[in-house]
Structure formats: C-alpha cells, structure tokens
C-alpha cells in the first residue's frame, strides 16, 4: 500500500508538469487549430533564459517573472513573424513550420549553452513535504503551481473582457470579427500565453530532469498525451489529463511486469492511440461536427 | 448551433495536385535516368555510397508521398516502418542466411501488413490527430527495438552487423557501385509501380478521398479500405527502402531509426513538393546533403540551417521543387518563343 500511495503521489507530481505542457498545447490549439510540435523546445529555451539570468545573479523569483515576460513577448513575436503568414496554408505546411521551429530552437540552444547537463535550482527546496516521506516539497510545489495556474486561467477566461474575446475568437472567428474583436491579435495573445505557460512547465521540471537542450522531448509527448486524453479543446481536460497520464505512467511502470522504465513512453503513446480511437474528442473535449 | 457541437470547416490537409502534374515528361525522365546511370561511373566509392543513400531515402519519401500526396493522410512515423524493414532484412540475412535481394520483398510484405494494421485505428483519426498518432509510433519504435525479449534476434542496443554483398557473376565493379545499380533498379521498379498505382482506379480513389472524403464515400468509394490500403502500400515501400538501407549501411541499431529520421523524410517530402513523385529524389538529396554542408559551416549548426531553409521553402516555394520545376519550364517556354 505504501508503495502504491508513493507511486500515485509521485505520478501526480510529474503529472503536474505534463498538465502544464498540455495547457500550453491546448492554448495554441484553441487559437489556431494546430498542435505546436515546437512547444517543448520553446519551453526549454525559456528555461535556459531563466538559468542564464540566475547565473548573472538575478534572484530566482525575479528571474522567473522576467522569463515569463520574455516568453510572452517571444511567443507573440514568433506568431507575428512566422505563423501569421501561414494561417491560410494547409495543415501540412503548418506542421512543417513547427518542425522547422523545433530544429532552429534546439540547435540555437545547443550552440549557445552547449549540450552538457546543468543543475537547476528549485524554489521550494527538496526536503520531505510536511514531514511526510511520500512527497518532496518540490513535488508539492509543482502540484500547487499547476492548480494555481489553472484557477488563474479559469478566472481570466470567465471574468475578463480579453478572456471572453479570446474565447469568442477561438470558437467563431467570423462572428467575433463582426462584433469588433481583433481576432488576429487574440491569436497572438494565445501564443504569448501558451509560451509563458510552457516556460513555467520548463522551469518546474528542470530541477527534476536537469537542464539541457533535449530535456523536453519526452515531456512534450506526455503533454500531447495529456492534452489528447483530456480533449484538445478543454484547458481543464488538459490538466486532468496531465495528472491521469502521470499516475498511469507510474503505476504501469511499477505494476505491469516487463514494463519498467524502458516501456513507460510507449505505454503513454499506446494510451494516446487508444483514447483517440475510442473517444476522439477526449474526456472533456467537445465532439467536432462536420458540415457537408 | 447547440453549445456542445462545434462545426469545423476544415481546410484540406494537402493541396490538390492534378494527376497529370505528378510525374515528369518522357524526355526529361530519360535524361534524369541517363544521368543516374552514368554519373556513378566517374565517382569515388564514398560518393557512390551517398548517392545510393539518396536513392534509398528517395524511395522512403516517395512512399510518404503516395500516402500524403495520394490519399491526403500524413504520417510522422515513417521511421518506424523503415526500421521494421531494415530489421527484417538484417535478421533474415544474418540469422537465416538468406540472399539479400530476397529479403527485400519479405520486408516489403511484412511492412505492408504493419501499415495496414496501423491504418485500422488510424482510420478514425484525421489531420493533426493522425500526425500525433504516427509521431507516437516513431518515438516508441527505438524503445521497442531495444526490448530484452527480442534481443536474441535484434542484437538489442548494439544492433546487428550486415555483410555487404559482392557484385554477382564476378562483375569487375566495386561493392558500392554494384549496390548503387541494384538500388537504382529497385527504385525504378517501385517508381513505375507507384505511378501506375496512382493512375489506376485505386489511385483515383485515393485522390478522391484526399480532396473530399465525404463526397468520395457518397460516390461509393470504400473510404476505410482505401485509406488503410494507402497506409499499407506506403509502409511496404518504406520497408523495402529500410531493407536496402540496412544492406547499404551494413548495420542496424535502434538509434538509427529515431523520430529524427521520420522528420527528415517528412521534410524531404515538403521540399520535394507534396504529390509530385519526382520531387522525392530532390527532397531526399536535400535531407542527405544539407546537414553535411551545414555541419561543414559550423558544428552543431545543422539543425538551425535545416530549419531556416525549411522556412524559406515554405514561404517562398510552398509547393517545393515542383514549383521550381514549373517556373523553370515556363522560363524555358518563354525563351523558346522569344
């Protein structure tokens, strides 16, 4: 039982990271109907920036805030420069664009900060949480930040004018334009927010997986799995999906014989495919109806 | 509209290419073929080897092109089928002692089966979801190849070494050259098969599905069958390419078939022009030579150069090499008139 609870808690903690990544993926998917394959690399780049700031002597939380601001601006810039012109292009062209972005960001990060593994500080400390051996303060912090983020996003989308405008632009762009919403900028805003959320995920997971240019590869796939599981149209679904994938991954690794650490990733992927086949809209997503 | 339903006016995944524009004219084809036959006679073995790799990747890109340009589905998981083909050939050659040429059809058939089976669940997915599912397949493949269960056959992490075949009948050409011509013959055969496939009834069904799935099913096309068939054919050709790749490189190991390979093939297709079969060889040359050149400029820069070039292609010539070819054709036409 001890082992079970331990695995579930650890799963929830890593699930928090997947949830953050999934949130970022869903944010962009809502805005432009595309999966951002470069999301993980963008998050990794943001994390490197915060690391660099800290190397220059900026305290953690200042570095954190500066990185968020930088990522937000960076996301908007990328949308304006690279993806706005592709808005009308076929899906294939967009996928190629995301892959190109992936290659560029990965390579530039490698050139600037090289591929050696770096330590990354945690703001919460790594002692046991509230005297319990089951979960560390960093893990508890990750869960707390993710839930806090979800609440903030909920408040933003439900109770602010901009949030409402963004939802309108995402669900019915033509009508939104007619009532005077600048849908183009709403999309850019979505990119900015997604990049900032990705940065949070990167900065939270860096103490666990260590900092290096390829650190987000696996995380991004789990993030996709989480987003798909929860439904690509639902931020709440993304977070729930993230926690579910985290727990499922850990339990499968522990209890299914022969899975171990090697097969955790394929298991997560099998999960994506199974969910897509059984319930393409995901657990919380809205089914998409095609008009003929 | 109720709040629960969301109506999607989906843009087509791929832009339509008219059937006639899929191939080169006869004259151009013969010139290209002539160059491919003659060129290696005057080159060093290493360059011949690289040309062989261009042909092999061109086959894999061609396979992806049939899937995407033909039936409008796309895949970021071709590396998985390539790996299965490569391992099939390697295992048959090294453990069973089979002749290398015979392993290729077997690799093709096994991959066809895999592709067809993978196509079944993929039926319910479209566009971006399919990209995601196949992406997952590509990421999982190296892990599966490393599994202890298959280690006796696959050699685990170390992989398998494959013997390079000699030229038959005591022909006085080097192994590299022989392999090049062998690959060339296989490639031409598959190229002709692909063209005929796309021009056939099945090919027209693929294209109807690509352009409008609902209209296609209304016309009586068995959408499920043809979609899985496209996956199977594409996987089968990729498998043959994988087998050839294993023979040419003389080595198979799980880390040779990562998502990077899948992405390269995808890029090759985009650069070559989606739906334009001759573009496969242009795209394949791009993915083989550009990283080398970029690596030559600055170490570690290849990813960035790759990405920037790709963005340039997307923005300037969204139809890839096909567009360049059309522009060139028009220029030549103007010169002739003038």
Chains A–B, number of C-beta pairs less than 8 Å apart: 151
The CA-based dihedral angle spanning residues B56, B60, B63, B68, taken in that order and rounded to the nearest 10 degrees: -140
Residue B18 has pLDDT above 60, yes or no: no
Find chain A residues with C-beta within 8 A of B305's C-beta: 107
Q: What is the pLDDT of residue B242?
A: 93
Q: CB A274: neighbour CB atoms within 10 A?
A: 12
B12 vs A90, A221, A228: nearest CB: A90
- List residues bridging with A290 in a β-sheet: B8
First to last CA, chain B: 59
CB neighbours (10 Å) of residue A259? Answer: 16
Taking only the tens place, the pLDDT of each residue in A26-76 is 888 887 777 888 888 899 999 999 999 999 988 889 999 999 999 999 999
Q: At B253, which helix (H) or strand (E)?
A: none
Whether the CB of A77 is below 8 Å from some CB of chain B: the reply is no
* Beta strand B6-8 pairing with B160-161: unpaired
Residue of B nearest to A38 (CA): B307
Q: pLDDT tens across B146-178, in order?
A: 776 777 777 777 778 887 777 677 677 778 888
Q: How far apart, in Å, are the Cα atoms of B79 and each of A246, B104, B121, B130?
A: 27, 17, 19, 15
Q: How far is A239 from chain B (nearest CA, A)?
A: 19
Cβ–Cβ of A92/B136 closer than 8 Å? no
SS3 label, residue B7? strand
* Chain A partners within 8 Å of B263 (Cβ): 99
Q: Is the pLDDT of residue A208 over 50?
A: yes
Measured from the Cβ of residue B260, the count of other Cβ atoms closer than 10 Å reads 14
Which tens digits make up the pLDDT trace of A70-86?
999 999 999 998 888 88
Distance (Å, rounded) from C-alpha B168 to C-alpha A145?
67
Considering chain B, what percentage of its residues have pLDDT values greater than 90?
Answer: 17
How far apart CA A277 and CA B5 sit, in angstroms, is 19
Which of chain A's residues have a Cβ under 8 Å away from the Cβ of B133?
272-273, 276
Among B6, B214, B300, the residue with its CB nearest the CB of A292 is B214
Q: Among B7, B120, B129, which would you mutate to test the A interface (most chain A Cβ atoms within 10 Å of its Cβ)?
A: B129
Are B303 and A37 an interchain contact pair (Cβ–Cβ within 8 Å)? no
Q: Which run of H or of E encompasses A172?
A: none
Beta carbons of A73 and A192 less than 8 angstroms apart: yes
Q: Which residues contact A269 (CB under 8 A, 6 or more apart)?
A: A221, A225, B136, B137, B139, B140
Cβ of B132 and A101 within 8 Å? no
pLDDT digits (tens, 9 = 90+) for B217-243: 888 888 888 888 888 999 999 999 999
- Angstroms from A59 CA to nearest CA on chain B: 31
Determine, for residues B129 and A280 on separate chains, whether the beta-carbon distance falls below 8 Å.
Answer: yes
| C-alpha span between A287 and A275 (Å, rounded) | 14
Distance CA B105, CA B196 (A): 19
pLDDT above 60 (res B5): no
Give the Å distances, CA to CA, from A199 to A24, A43, A82, A87. Answer: 9, 5, 20, 24
What does the alpha-carbon distance between residue B19 and residue A36 come to, in Å, rounded to a whole number? 32
Ramachandran angles phi, psi of B252, nearest 5°: -125, 135
Provide the mean pLDDT of chain A. Answer: 83
- The first and second tokens of residue A140, run together, are 């508890």
Nearest Cβ partner for B266 among A35, A91, A99: A99
DSSP assignment of B125-162 equals --HHHHHHHHHHHHHHHHHHHT-GGGHHHH-TTT-EE-
Q: Which residues of B137-159 are buried (b: 16+ CB within 10 A; e: fewer)?
A: bbbbbbbbbbeeeeeeebbbeeb
User: Which of chain B's residues have a Cβ under 8 Å away from the Cβ of A90?
Assistant: 11-15
In chain B, residues with a C-beta closer than 8 Å to the C-beta of A269 are: 136-137, 139-140
Contact at CB, B8 and A288, closer than 8 angstroms: yes
Residue-wise pLDDT tens digits, B322-332: 777 778 878 88
B8 at A interface, C-beta within 8 A: yes
CA separation (Å) from A198 to A20, A40, B139, B303?
7, 7, 21, 22
pLDDT band per the 50, 70, 90 thresholds, residue A9: confident
pLDDT at A278: 79
C-alpha A203: how far from its chain's center? 11
């Amino acid at each position: 039982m001890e082992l079970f609870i331990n695995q579930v808690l650890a799963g929830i903690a890593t699930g928090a990271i997947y949830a953050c990544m999934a949130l970022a993926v869903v944010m962009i998917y809502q805005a432009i109907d595309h999966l951002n394959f470069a999301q993980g690399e963008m998050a990794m780049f943001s994390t490197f920036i915060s690391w660099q700031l800290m190397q220059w002597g900026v305290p953690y939380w200042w570095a954190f805030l500066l990185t968020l601001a930088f990522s937000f601006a960076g996301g908007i810039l990328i949308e304006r420069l690279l993806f706005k012109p592709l808005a009308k292009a076929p899906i294939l062209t967009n996928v190629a664009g995301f892959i190109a972005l992936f290659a560029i960001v990965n390579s530039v990060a490698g050139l600037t900060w090289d591929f050696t593994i770096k330590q990354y500080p945690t703001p919460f400390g790594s002692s046991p949480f509230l005297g319990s051996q089951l979960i560390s303060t960093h893990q508890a912090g990750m869960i707390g930040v993710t839930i806090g983020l979800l609440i903030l996003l909920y408040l933003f989308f439900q109770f602010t004018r901009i949030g409402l405008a963004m939802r309108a632009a995402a669900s019915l762009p033509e009508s939104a334009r007619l009532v005077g919403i600048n849908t183009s900028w709403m999309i850019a805003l979505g990119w900015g927010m997604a990049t900032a959320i990705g940065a949070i995920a990167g900065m939270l997971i860096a103490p666990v997986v260590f900092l290096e240019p390829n650190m987000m590869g696996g995380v991004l796939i789990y993030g996709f799995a989480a987003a798909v599981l929860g439904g690509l149209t639902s931020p709440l679904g993304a977070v729930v999906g993230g926690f579910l994938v985290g727990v499922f991954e850990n339990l499968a690794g522990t209890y299914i014989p022969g899975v171990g650490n090697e097969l955790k990733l394929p298991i997560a992927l099998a999960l994506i495919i199974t969910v897509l086949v059984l319930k393409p809209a995901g657990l919380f997503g809205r089914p998409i109806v095609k008009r003929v | 509209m109720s709040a629960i339903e969301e109506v999607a006016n989906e843009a087509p995944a791929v832009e339509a290419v008219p059937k006639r524009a899929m191939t080169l004219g006869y004259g151009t084809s013969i010139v290209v073929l002539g160059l491919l036959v003659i060129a290696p006679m005057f080159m060093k073995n290493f360059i011949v080897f690289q040309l062989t790799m261009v042909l092999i990747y061109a086959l894999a890109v061609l396979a992806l092109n049939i899937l995407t340009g033909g039936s409008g589905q796309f895949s970021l998981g071709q590396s998985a089928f390539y790996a299965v083909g490569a391992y099939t050939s390697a295992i048959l050659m090294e453990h069973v002692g089979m002749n290398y040429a015979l392993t290729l059809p077997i690799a093709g058939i096994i991959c066809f089966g895999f592709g067809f089976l993978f196509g079944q669940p993929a039926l319910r997915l479209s566009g971006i979801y399919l990209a995601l599912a196949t992406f997952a397949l590509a990421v999982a493949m190296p892990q599966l190849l490393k599994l202890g269960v298959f280690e006796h056959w696959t050699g685990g992490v170390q992989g398998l070494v494959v013997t390079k075949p000699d030229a038959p009948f005591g022909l006085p050409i080097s192994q590299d050259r022989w392999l090049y011509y062998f690959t060339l013959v296989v490639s031409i055969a598959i190229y002709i098969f692909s063209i005929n496939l796309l021009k056939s009834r099945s090919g027209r069904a693929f294209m109807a599905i690509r352009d409008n799935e609902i209209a296609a099913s209304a016309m009586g096309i068995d959408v499920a069958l043809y979609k899985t068939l496209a996956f199977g054919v594409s996987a089968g050709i990729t498998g043959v390419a994988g087998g050839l790749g294993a023979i040419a490189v003389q080595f198979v190991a799980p880390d040779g078939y990562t998502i990077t390979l899948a992405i390269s093939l995808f890029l090759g297709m985009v650069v070559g022009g989606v739906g334009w079969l001759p573009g496969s060889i242009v795209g394949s040359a791009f993915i083989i030579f550009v990283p080398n050149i970029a690596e030559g400029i600055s170490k570690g820069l290849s990813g960035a150069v790759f990405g920037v070039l790709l963005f340039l292609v997307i923005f300037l010539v969204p139809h890839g090499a096909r567009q360049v070819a059309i522009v060139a054709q028009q220029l030549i036409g103007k010169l002739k008139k003038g």
